[in-house]
């Protein structure tokens, strides 16, 4: 029967979170599922071996280890572990798992699930009904909470940012981050606004946990693998918008996102910062409908942001 949901779980250098994530799913889930774990080129020497050992011990004959270069020939086992020799980023890493899900005729939905997400209730049946019963629903997500379940990770329901908001952010965030962030977040984080709907329309879901119809996802081209990290949800939003569908969040469904950042956190290390920069350039150039003046000013604002960030990091090292 074609009713399995494939859970695509991407890991890098961390098998502990992966096993905890799977255990939480098994504890609460009642829907028929197939789990596809993708190791995205982990460099920690024991990650792949430990993941393989623990999955084989837990699932036995229901488990298969694969290479990302393996030819996908149809039906998957209950649990598949796809090993890649290199880290190709979030988008392409998930695509490595999706490749196997697409050829399995028993799978009709896909859940993209970060390995640092924990289930706390049975959400897949509810989210599946949302997709089946809501004609214009492309992606549906649960509310994500921080580790203690006391705070919402507001990134799970956002409006997309305009190019002028990004220009403003790039010019001023290093100098007065808190003020800029507060100003931009007034309307961006949708769960901060009064809305009584259980199934609420949003623009950007969190890539940490989201459910989508398998055939539809394949039809729109899955994730765009040109980005290594960040802006994947923005690109998905633009793809989905062109098909006349929209994204939703079900406020009745909850998960814990261990990696959720507090709303006043600043930029992290240089690598992730530059990933954000490169992905934003790719998005604005290839997906966002802007004119040459807007795009040129956006690029200038990025250079200013990069320069000021370098100065800020240099000063921090000296102090």
The answer on pLDDT for 319 being more than 80 is no
256-279 per-residue burial string, b: 16 or more CB within 10 A, e: under 16:
bbbebeeeeeeeeeeeebebbbbb
The pLDDT assigned to 268 comes to: 54
The pLDDT assigned to 266 comes to: 40
Closest alpha carbon to 5 in 126, 87, 120:
126
The pLDDT assigned to 27 comes to: 98
The pLDDT assigned to 18 comes to: 98
pLDDT tens by residue, 13-57: 999 999 999 999 999 999 999 999 999 999 988 999 999 999 999
Q: Which helix (H) or strand (E) holds 255?
A: strand 246-257
**∠ CA 90-255-123, rounded to 5°:** 100
Q: Kindly tell me the burial class for residue 181, based on how many C-beta atoms sit within 10 Å of its own C-beta (0-12, 13-18, 19 or more).
A: middle
| Cα dihedral across residues 75, 134, 94, 11: positive or negative | negative
Q: pTM here?
A: 0.93
The answer on pLDDT for 318 being more than 90 is no
The answer on pLDDT for 186 being more than 90 is no
Cβ neighbours around 65 below 10 Å, total: 18
Closest alpha carbon to 97 in 152, 18, 183, 186:
18
Non-local (6+) Cβ contacts of 275 within 8 A are 227, 228, 229, 230
Closest alpha carbon to 208 in 141, 108, 109:
141
Cα 82 to Cα 88: distance, rounded to the nearest angstrom: 14
pLDDT tens by residue, 70-125: 877 778 999 999 999 999 999 999 999 999 999 999 999 999 999 999 999 999 99
Q: Which helix (H) or strand (E) holds 234?
A: helix 232-242
The pLDDT assigned to 1 comes to: 47
Cα 244 to Cα 239: distance, rounded to the nearest angstrom: 9
Helix (H, G, I), strand (E, B), or coil: what is residue 210? strand
Q: What percent of the chain has pLDDT over 90?
A: 82
Q: How many residues does the chain have?
A: 319
**∠ CA 222-95-30, rounded to 5°:** 90
């Amino acid at each position: 029967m074609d009713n399995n949901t494939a859970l695509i779980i991407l890991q890098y250098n961390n098998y502990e979170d992966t096993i905890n994530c799977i255990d939480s799913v098994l504890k609460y889930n009642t829907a028929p599922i197939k789990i596809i774990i993708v190791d995205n080129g982990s460099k920690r020497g024991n990650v792949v071996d430990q993941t393989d050992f623990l999955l084989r011990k837990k699932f036995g004959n229901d488990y298969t280890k694969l290479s990302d270069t393996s030819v996908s020939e149809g039906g998957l086992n209950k649990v598949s572990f796809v090993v890649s020799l290199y880290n190709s980023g979030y988008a392409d890493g998930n695509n490595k798992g999706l490749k196997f899900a697409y050829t399995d005729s028993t799978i009709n939905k896909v859940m993209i699930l970060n390995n640092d997400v924990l289930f706390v209730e049975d959400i897949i049946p509810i989210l599946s009904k949302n997709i089946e019963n809501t004609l214009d629903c492309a992606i549906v997500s649960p509310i994500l909470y921080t580790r203690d379940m006391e705070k919402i990770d507001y990134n799970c329901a956002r409006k997309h940012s305009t190019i002028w908001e990004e220009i403003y952010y790039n010019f001023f965030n290093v100098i007065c981050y808190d003020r800029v962030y507060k100003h931009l977040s007034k309307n961006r984080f949708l769960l901060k606004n009064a809305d009584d709907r259980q199934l609420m329309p949003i623009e950007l879901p969190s890539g940490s946990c989201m459910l989508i119809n398998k055939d539809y996802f394949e039809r729109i081209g899955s994730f765009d693998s040109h980005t290594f990290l960040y802006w994947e949800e923005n690109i998905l939003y633009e793809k989905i918008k062109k098909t006349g569908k929209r994204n939703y969040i079900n406020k009745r469904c909850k998960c814990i996102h261990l990696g959720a950042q507090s709303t006043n956190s600043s930029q992290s290390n240089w690598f992730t910062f530059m990933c954000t920069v490169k992905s934003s350039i790719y998005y604005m150039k290839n997906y966002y409908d802007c004119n040459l003046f807007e795009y040129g000013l956006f690029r200038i604002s990025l250079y200013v942001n990069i320069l000021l960030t370098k100065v800020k990091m240099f000063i921090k090292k000296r102090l």
